[in-house]
Each structure stands twice: as C-alpha cells, then as structure tokens.
Chains A and B, each alone.
Chain A
Amino acid sequence: MIDAPERITLEEWDLRYEKLYRAGLPQPAYGGPLSRHVSDGDHRLLKLRYDNSPAALRLWNFLLTEEDRLHRARAAGKKIVGTMKDLGTVPVMAYSFDNMVAFYPDGAWWIPCVMEYSAGLLEIADSLGIDESFCPVRAMLGAFVTEAHFPIPNMLICSVGATCDDFSAIAQRLNGLGHSIFWWEIPHRRCPEQAEATAELPGGLSAPRCQVEFVKSELARVKVALEQLAGAELDEERLSAGIRQANLVRQSLAELRYLAFTAEPCPIPALEMLVAEMLAIHYCSDRGETMVVLEELLDEVKVRVRAGRGVLDADAAKIFWVNPVADLQVMNLLEDCGGRLCGTEYLFTHALDPIPENVPPLEALARAALADPMAGSSIDRAERICSDVCRFGAEAVLISRIPGASHCALEGQVISEVVADTLGIPVLEIEVPPVADSMSPTVRTRLEALAETVRARRRSRQNRWRNG
C-alpha cells in the first residue's frame, strides 16, 4: 500500500515528516524537515506545494544543501570549478577528476526567487550597473560580492560566442571586478554546406565536421587548464568513464521524464520535475548522490504509474513548457489552473541527451556542446520543441519569457510561429519575474484560459470524431 500521491504545503510536509521520521524513514546526512531551509532565508518555500513522497523530500533536501557540500569539498581539499554558461559539458570533465567538484554560479539565477529578494543580490548587481534590464542571472554578481551563497571557486570557466548577451556581459563585468575567467568559444552551430563533411550531434542535430573539430580544440584547452588545477592528467579512459557516468544520470532522467510527461494521471508534479532536470547539469555538486536521488524518484514514479495513481486530474491539459521559469511557484500555478507538464525545453536539452560513447571522449563532448539549443538557431530550437511536443503528446506550448533575457523577445516569436505553422496547437507566451505574486492573477487567468482552450479543442475533436 502506498500513500496517495498529492501536492502538499510546507506545513503539511512538516507534519508528514514527523510521521515518517517516527516510522524510521531512512535519510541521508543532508536529510531533515524541509522547513528548516526557511530559516536559511529560503522564504519562497513557504508558498510552494510539493510532492508528498520521501523521494521528493530527498530531492529537495539535496538541492537545498548544495552550498554545504561545496564548503565540505573545499575543506576536504578538493578544487572547486565554477563552470559558467555551457550547462552540462565542462562539469563532465571536472567530475572525471577525483579531487574536483564543479558547480554553476549561474544557479544564482534562482536566489531572488527562492529568497524572495531578501538576499540583496539584485541591489548589489544594480550598484555595479547591472540593472533589471538583464536577466535574473545578474544575481550571480551579488553572490560573488557577498560570498554568502557559494565558496569562491578556484577557477572560473565560461563559454562565450553563441551564448546569451546577458551572461556574456555579466561574466565580463565579473572579470572586470578582478575574478579571472578562462574563456572558451562555442561557435554558432550552422547547417553544413553542400558536400561539407558533417558530424551527427545528440538530439538528431548535425553540424559541419570543422565546427566539431573547433569545439574539440577549445575543450582541449579547457582540459589542460583543469589538469593544471587538479595536478593530475585526464586521460581518455578517465574522461570516457566520466561520460559513462553522466550518461547513467541522463538515462535515469530520460526514463523519469518520459513517465512524468506521458503517464496518466500525471505521476509527479511539475516542480519536482524541474528540480530533477537541473540535477543533470552539474549533479548538484555530488554526482554519485544525484544518481541515488534520481533513482529513488524514478522508483516512486514507477510505483505510482503501475498503480494508476497521480497527483493531478486525469484530464489535465497537457502543456509543453519552454524556458526555465524565474518564479518556481508558477510551476504550481500551472497545475492549479488545470494544466500538467507534458514536455519541457529549459534551454539545456543537450545536458539531457546521451553523450555519444562511440567516438573519442573529447569529440563526444564537443558534439554535445554544439547541440546546445543556445548555440543553434531559434529555428532549430523550435523544430526540436515540435518534435518533443509530438513525442510526449502535448496539446499546447507555453513559452515562459525570462525578464531581460537577450534571446527571449526574438526567439519567442520564431518558436511561436514555427510551432503554430507546424503543429497548429495553441501557443502562449508569458513573462514571469523572480517573484510573481503581484502578477499572479494575470498569469493565473492566462494559464486557465490556455487549459480551457486545450479542453475545448479536445471536445471539438471528440465531436468531430463522433459525428464522423
């Protein structure tokens, strides 16, 4: 007998935690009641609704204790690498060393939301001339200044070229403040010319062979820098082992995503899925534990799917979500408004697709890096979205615009047009700030309207079908 899956508040989680604790719930060292993180300043947690499984508890606790892990790693003499912007490639290299952990300072993106602006990071960014016309990643600058959210890394490695202007500009500002940065170039992925040698990339993409070679040479530079930091060589065997480990995480996540997006009723809420996907980028500073956390979540989902149980109504509108949302609460809101997640594209599909294992490891990573949706055209990205929409059976696409993001305004237009032209399904664009409370009624109305449109389309399809 399993507990009925449901979405519960933080208060309800505390009561449930007590019960589970008394019943002898096994917990990792970072376990404990979720509400304890509120005293660290994570006030947004009070407003969220969570999955009620112990697997979800572990997931959240794992996510919210990353800073402690980084400090422990430093105390244990490990080198800390701040990987920036590439989302998923350099960490695979870093975790192939025994004495290195990597994390994304970019993750400060979420701090204004999770701490409901109380950390003062945006004010610091403002004072450095990086105001609200930039995306929420500007909080990263404040985090470097206060040194209160992560230890200052031993090395910063940032990809530039075909990236967003926000990050590139902010990283340069950080560099100007005295933080040394190792820059590496990711070129804009282009279509191969006629008769040009081509390489296949993850995600069904392709690129000219010369672009793969170029990225490979850039990653070779990164490798040398990491080797110098680690004081150890990263040979092909170790890097290949690192890739295999990364692929295990990706495989587990792929299974989880498939079940989460296709099973009826929806077996796991959108918010936990968002957190789970983020683990694939840099393993929340512990690759081994990431695997355990994901496996546990996957087991829970499998049990629920077998039992035909879920967290939402079976007729929830199936929504494909594009871009990470600055306010986590909006993922709850989608479900409150009658929607469910049915596919996602949070700008890091290349960190979810398996890394090729049939080519030399550096080449494999170069191919994965080039498959970054940010590195390619908006049209490529829109086409991938269309193909995933079909794969998961989504009925509408929601593009969550990121305030200030350099890519959003023009890219949103291309994605909307391509999805509408190709699939003819509804597309909604919303813009969500890090704390969307004041806009919540508007966002709610728009999400409800989208869910209702989906249901109306279903009804008219059924009518057409019934009437021959």
Chain B
Amino acid sequence: MKTIIYTCPYIPAEWIAAHGLHASRIVPDHVDADLSLARAEGVCPYVRSFIGQVMADKEAGGAVLTTVCDQMRRAFDIIVRNGAIPAFLMNVPNTWQTPAAQALYIDELKRLGRFLVQLGGTSPSDEALAEVMLEYDDARTSIRSAREYLSARRFADAIAQNRVCNKLHTLHAEPLVEGVPLALAGGPLMRSDYELFDMVEQLGGRIVLDATETGDRGMCPEFDRARLRKDPLRELARAYFGSIPDASRRPNSDLYEWLERELIGRAVRGIIFRRYLWCDLWHAELGRLKDRIELPVLDIDSAGENHLERPRISNRIRAFLEMLQ
C-alpha cells in the first residue's frame, strides 16, 4: 500500500485512507533540515525540516502540502522542482466563515481525491468513507479519554502515532507527576521537541494542555455521527476545516475562544508559547495572547538547533516555574 505523507492538520487522514492509501502525518526532526536550500535564514525551521524529510523520502507514494502558510506554499515549489515523489498542494482557505470558503475546501478535497486516484488509490463510496471515518473517530476518542491517565509526553506520542496509524497500541495508565499545570501553545513540534514535556515535568510543571498543532489543538474533534451517515464528506469538512482552530485563520478569533475554554477547563496557570524563528503567523500571536489571556506567558523561540538551545530553554522554564510556584 502506498504511503502518502503530509503534515498539515487540515488534511484529513481519513480521506487518504478511504482511497486505499496509507496516510502518514510526518513529524520531521531538526536533523532532517534540508541543507541544500540556498538559504536557511528567513526559512521557518519546521519548513526546512519538512522539505528535507520529503526530499529524502524515496519510498512514499506522494506528498500533500497545503496553502495554510506562505512558507509551506513556497516549500511546495521547491519540492515539485527538485523532489523525487509526486506532490500535491491543497488550497485551504484562511477565511472560514463563508459558505464559499467551505465549498472551496470540499472541492479541494475532491481534487486531492483525483490526485490520490492517479497514484493508484480508489475513489471511495460514501459507505466506505463513513466506515474509515468511524475507525479514526474511535481511535481519537480512546486517545482523548486516555488523557487523564497518560503523561503529557505519552499523550502527545499517542496523538502522533494516531496520525501514522489509526490502530493504537493499548494505552496503559501510568503514574502521573504532580506539577504546576501549564499549557504548551504554538505551531507544530518536531520529533526531538517532545523532550519538552519531560523537561517541564523534571522542572516541577506538567503540560495539561497541548495546544500545539501536533497536539490536542490540531486534532480533529468528534464527528457528528448522524451527519456522518448522511453526508460523510461534508461532515469530514465540517470537522476538519470548520473546527480546528489555528493562527492562520482570518479572523482567528476561534483560536482564542478555544484556548480560553481549554485553559479554564484544565486550570492552567501559565503558558509556554513555543514558536519557530521566521514563523510570522505564530510570532504575531504572541503579543495578542499576552493582551487577551490573563495568564503568564513564556516565549520560547527556536531556530531549530535543539542541542544548542536546550540549556537556555531549560533555564527559562525553570525560572518561569519558580515564578509560578
């Protein structure tokens, strides 16, 4: 079975899987950064690593990118010119409130479907799509219900695992550490960034809300089963495009509504705001977050050089936690 790699949360894995292909949401790492790019300065480290991983992948059947941010849109140009595998750029509108934007998203899913068929996939019937959606929905429900008894790291791992395969290993309960409840907010994490969860715990905190793109925030909410049976594609679009809050949406008020709700719901006492250097979309939200949310915010920027950044980050988190305790 061919594997289709992607990273954007607005690409429904169910849609790829329903075409009989394996959907794999890759979590690139700093070490994957494409060194052949003419310039590193000005390029978001995540984009650099994503390009590097796609370029290095000779096995995947295809790569799917979206227009959610400008740099990813440009990454597509690089991949399509120099990469070895077929690539597809899906238009995901930034505006979300008009029926036209919602219809555009559905049209783009259909266009993605045609691309998948060209790669050897089969166009799914409504029943087949609904079945796959139910499987994924069940898997996500088990992850969500495991949140209370998994460490933040394990919870994040489970989400990542679900994106590569919707069949989960059993999620065993584990002893949880006590710590100052924190939220981690921002764009996507890379593989080695997951050590942040452990670092926070070792320093006396606990991430109770993973509001990163690769965490809770980027996870599709539960499907409405009645709507799913009636019109699965429309329900897929509603759940993904209509519900995942993100900095890129215009306006992005839904991101703050979601955050406010979750922060209160999980009694969060401080926010670690994790962003990449040269990511304008998230960087610009830092000031807004501070204006709007009445919680202490620790800004941690990353140039994608984890080994050099680790001591600095650890010191800053320690000081942040001391201030909160």
Q: Which listed segment binds A: B10-18, B70-78, B149-157, B208-216? A: B70-78
Q: Which listed segment binds A: B125-133, B139-147, B188-196, B286-294? A: B286-294
Per-residue interface assignment for chain A, residues 122 to 165, with 1 indicating a CB less than 8 Å from any chain B CB and 0 otherwise: 00000011110110000000000000000000000010111111
Which label, helix, strand, loop or mixed, suits the secondary structure of the B interface? helix
Pair A412/B39 contact, Cβ less than 8 Å: yes
The 7 closest A-B pairs by CB, nearest first: A129-B287, A409-B42, A169-B284, A410-B74, A165-B280, A413-B38, A169-B280
Pair A218/B100 contact, Cβ less than 8 Å: yes
Residue numbers of B with Cβ under 8 A of A are: 37-39, 41-43, 47, 67, 69-71, 73-78, 80-81, 89, 91, 93-95, 98, 100-101, 104, 107, 111, 114, 247-248, 250-252, 277-281, 283-288, 290-292
What is the CA–CA distance of A181 and B285 in the complex, to the nearest angstrom? 17
Chain B nearest CB, measured from A364 CB (Å): 19
With a cutoff of 8 Å between Cβ atoms, the chain A residues found around residue B104 in the complex are 185, 187, 214
Question: Which A157-196 residues sit within 8 Å CB-CB of chain B?
Answer: 158, 160-166, 168-173, 175-176, 181, 183-185, 187-188, 190, 193
Pair B81/A414 contact, Cβ less than 8 Å: yes
With a cutoff of 8 Å between Cβ atoms, the chain B residues found around residue A413 in the complex are 37-39, 78
What is the CA–CA distance of A185 and B105 in the complex, to the nearest angstrom? 12
With a cutoff of 8 Å between Cβ atoms, the chain A residues found around residue B77 in the complex are 377-379, 410-411, 414
A407 at the interface (CB under 8 A from B): yes
Pair B95/A416 contact, Cβ less than 8 Å: no
Using A160-B94, A172-B251 as known contacts, say yes or no to A410 and B71 having CB atoms under 8 A apart.
Answer: yes
Pair B71/A165 contact, Cβ less than 8 Å: yes
Using A129-B283, A160-B94, A183-B251 as known contacts, say yes or no to A214 and B100 having CB atoms under 8 A apart.
Answer: yes
Pair B70/A163 contact, Cβ less than 8 Å: yes
A408 at the interface (CB under 8 A from B): yes
18 A-B pairs whose Cβ atoms sit less than 8 Å apart in the complex: A129-B288, A129-B290, A131-B283, A134-B280, A160-B250, A169-B280, A172-B252, A172-B285, A172-B288, A185-B100, A188-B89, A378-B74, A404-B42, A407-B74, A409-B38, A409-B43, A413-B38, A413-B39
Chain B nearest CB, measured from A412 CB (Å): 7
CB < 8 Å neighbour of B283 from A133, A210, A405, A408: A133
The residue in A164, A193, A406 that gathers the most chain B C-beta atoms within 10 A of its C-beta is: A406
With a cutoff of 8 Å between Cβ atoms, the chain A residues found around residue B284 in the complex are 129-130, 134, 169-170, 172-173
Chain B nearest CB, measured from A213 CB (Å): 9
With a cutoff of 8 Å between Cβ atoms, the chain B residues found around residue A163 in the complex are 70
Pair A188/B73 contact, Cβ less than 8 Å: yes
A35 at the interface (CB under 8 A from B): no
Shortest Cβ distance from A163 into B: residue? B70
With a cutoff of 8 Å between Cβ atoms, the chain A residues found around residue B39 in the complex are 409, 412-413
With a cutoff of 8 Å between Cβ atoms, the chain A residues found around residue B290 in the complex are 129
With a cutoff of 8 Å between Cβ atoms, the chain B residues found around residue A407 in the complex are 70, 74
